[in-house]
Structure 1
Amino acid sequence: MADAKISENIEEYLEVLYRNGSNGEQVSTTQLSKDLKIAPGSVTQMLKKLEDLGYIVYTPYKGATLTDDGMKIAQKITRKHRILEKFLLEVLKIKEENVHEQACEMEHTLSDEAERALCTMLQHPDLCPDEHIIPACNFDFGSCQECFSQKDFDQVMNRKFNLLSISELTSTTEGTISFIRGSNDLLDRISAEGIKIGQHLKYEFNENRVGNHYLVNIDDAELNIPVEMAHNIFIKV
């Protein structure tokens, strides 16, 4: 179930693109150059290569957006990085100032099986120490309960599509609720709101964030979703 080996350099580019444009935003060459600490000319060269590989759509002098294939890789490496940060800080008690660099070194070699084990041990975390969203796993489950009940990792299948949580949406977006993350208690509270897999969700950007809640439309009914829930309700986009 593992993807073909992708170079660490490519993963780093896709990770930065995801960090700056997870909901389809165009990321400028200047921004990439700044984040990666690489000359703009070298960034442009790599963007052309990434487009040839089918990972991005590149527009000269404007920037790049991730394709579905690029998003899949970017989410996977970002997820591993942020889970590792949480593990290093909260379990191994590594100094906070060293956590990011060590996670960067480890993320490229962490197996999918080890990632899943870390997620279970950390009780399905939604935020890294910097309070950035940990992307959903790419395993084909509707909830963490389903994942936990499958003990044999060799029987775990990959999801065929990408997901974004409600709190990751940065533009008006519609999609199908396809994964709900969290402990049994959180899953029960989300279920009590009448939210379930398969429902249609619509989010109006700039209008629907009200304090610590998101106002969303689910199957034609308006609901106020607390931030904690919004971090963990994922839609297929």
Structure 2
Amino acid sequence: MAEDKISENIEEYLEVLYRNGSNGEQVSTTKLSKELGIAPGSVTQMLKKLENLGYISYTPYKGATLTDEGLKIAQKITRKHRILEKFLTDILKIKEENVHEQACEMEHSLSDEAERALCTMLRNPDLCPDNNAIPACDFDFASCKQCYSLSDFDQIINRNFNLLSISELTSNANGVVSFIRGNDELLDNVSDLGIKVGMNLNYEYDENRIGNHYLVEIDDKELNIPLEMANNIFIRI
């Protein structure tokens, strides 16, 4: 499961792009400049580099969107950051004002094996302390129960595709349910709705979001999915 090391600077850019455009939305140079605290000219140069590396699609004067490869990296680093925030807050009781900075420092060196161990210890968290959704892991499982059943980390393989939770969808999207996160109770609740891995899912923009519920079509059946469940049902776009 070894992979080439990506610079922390690149990871930071991709993380900000993911935070502002996880579902293919274009993020402006101005937005990136403001969030990163970097001059617009320097941001533009980096975006050109990221495009050459295949991590983004960049349109001058408009902004950038993540490619599939860029999304994969961005989700991975964002997941590690938010799991670390959960760990620092819930287990280590670090002061709230220090949590984000410490997670930023730790996320780049956290191994996949350690990330999995933290996820298991924290019982598959779906939200960080700021109530931002934690992306799915990139391990090739259909549920957390499958992950628990495999004790040898070296036998785990990575997915070769990206996932988005229902709650991350911001525009018309079609995909296949490919991962359901959570404990036995949540898995049973999802199953009771008739939702299974392998089913086709269709979601339309905001007109299909009603309060904290998402109106989706799964295998031609309309279902009203509550937010806490939508955070844990992931589809392959």
**1:210 offset after TM fit, Å?**
1.1
Q: What stretches of structure 2 of length at least 5 have no aligned partner?
A: none
Look up the equivalent residue of 1:84 and give its one-letter code. L
Look up the equivalent residue of 2:230 and give its one-letter code. A
State the TM-score, normalizing by the size of structure 1.
Answer: 0.99
Q: Which residue in the other structure is 1:18 paired with?
A: 18
Q: Which residue in the other structure is 2:28 paired with?
A: 28
**1:61 offset after TM fit, Å?**
0.6
CA offsets 1:174-222 (integer angstroms, 9 cap, x no match)? 0000000001111111111100000000001111111221110000000
Name the CA distance, whole Å, in 2 between partners of 1:118 and 1:131.
18
**Helix, strand or coil at the partner of 1:202:** strand
Q: Which residue in the other structure is 1:122 paired with?
A: 122
Q: Which residue in the other structure is 2:67 paired with?
A: 67
Q: Which residue in the other structure is 1:236 paired with?
A: 236
**1:3 offset after TM fit, Å?**
2.2
CA offsets 1:76-96 (integer angstroms, 9 cap, x no match)? 000000000000001000000
Name the CA distance, whole Å, in 2 between partners of 1:51 and 1:117.
34
Please provide the CA RMSD for this pair: 0.5
Look up the equivalent residue of 1:59 and give its one-letter code. T
| Count of residues in Structure 1 that have an aligned counterpart in Structure 2 | 237
Q: After the TM superposition, which segments of 4 or more aligned residues of structure 1 sit over 6 Å from their partners?
A: none
CA offsets 1:83-116 (integer angstroms, 9 cap, x no match)? 0000000100000000000000000000000000
**1:2 offset after TM fit, Å?**
2.8
Name the CA distance, whole Å, in 1 between partners of 2:103 and 2:23.
24
Name the CA distance, whole Å, in 2 between partners of 1:63 and 1:3.
29
Look up the equivalent residue of 1:136 and give its one-letter code. A
Q: Which residue in the other structure is 1:212 paired with?
A: 212
Name the CA distance, whole Å, in 2 between partners of 1:14 and 1:225.
29
Name the CA distance, whole Å, in 1 between partners of 2:197 and 2:3.
27
Name the CA distance, whole Å, in 2 between partners of 1:15 and 1:199.
29
Name the CA distance, whole Å, in 1 between partners of 2:137 and 2:2.
13
**1:166 offset after TM fit, Å?**
0.3
Q: Which residue in the other structure is 1:77 paired with?
A: 77
State the TM-score, normalizing by the size of structure 2.
Answer: 0.99
Q: Which residue in the other structure is 1:182 paired with?
A: 182
Q: Which residue in the other structure is 1:86 paired with?
A: 86
**1:173 offset after TM fit, Å?**
0.5
Name the CA distance, whole Å, in 2 between partners of 1:104 and 1:131.
17
**Helix, strand or coil at the partner of 1:207:** helix
Look up the equivalent residue of 2:233 and give its one-letter code. I
CA offsets 1:122-145 (integer angstroms, 9 cap, x no match)? 000000000001000000000000
Q: Percent identity?
A: 78
Q: Which residue in the other structure is 1:146 paired with?
A: 146
Q: Which residue in the other structure is 2:227 paired with?
A: 227
Q: What stretches of structure 1 of length at least 5 have no aligned partner?
A: none
